[in-house]
Amino acid sequence: MTMPISYALNKVLTAIARQHVLKEHLTDADLAGHDLTEAERAALKAGDVTSLYHLGANPYLIRRVFRARFRI
């Protein structure tokens, strides 16, 4: 197993995914109370799906939340 797993990222994305809403990027309000690194915060606030993947966010959650960021 070589894939990184960030619990903090997945926790935020799970909370948003369960609202059944799509986002271009997350806001400070979305991230309030979550224990994230600076790189994680930046990627979430930018909706940077590639960085999120490499930082250890689950790709199903990335897709669920940031669907609008994908070409297809």
Partner 1 sequence: MAQIVAAALASHAPLITGRPEVSKPEQRDRLYAGFHELRRRFAAARPDLIVMLVNDHLQNFPYSNMPAFCIGLAKAYDAPSPGGAGLMRIPPRKVAGAPEVGLALLESGLAAGFDFAYSYEIESWDELSVPLHFLEPEGKLPVMPVYTNCGAPPLPTPRRCHAVGGFVGGFIRSRPAAERIALVATGGISHWVGTPETGRINPEFDHRVLDHIARGDVEPLLDLTWADIERDAGNGGQEIRNWIALLGAVPGWKGEVLAYEPVAEWITGCATVWVHQ
Binding interface with partner 1 (CB under 8 A): 1-3, 5, 7, 10-11, 14, 17-18, 20, 49-50, 53, 58-64, 70-72
- In the numeric block, which tokens belong to residue 49? 């799906």
Q: How far is the CB of 44 from partner 1 (least distance, A)?
A: 14
Q: How far is the CB of 5 from partner 1 (least distance, A)?
A: 8
Q: How far is the CB of 41 from partner 1 (least distance, A)?
A: 18
- In the numeric block, which tokens belong to residue 12? 């935020």
Indicate the residue among 5 and 42 with the shorter CB distance to partner 1. 5
Distance CA 44, CA 15 (A): 13
Q: Using an 8 Å Cβ cutoff, are 61 and 14 in contact?
A: yes
**Distance between terminal CA atoms of the chain?**
28
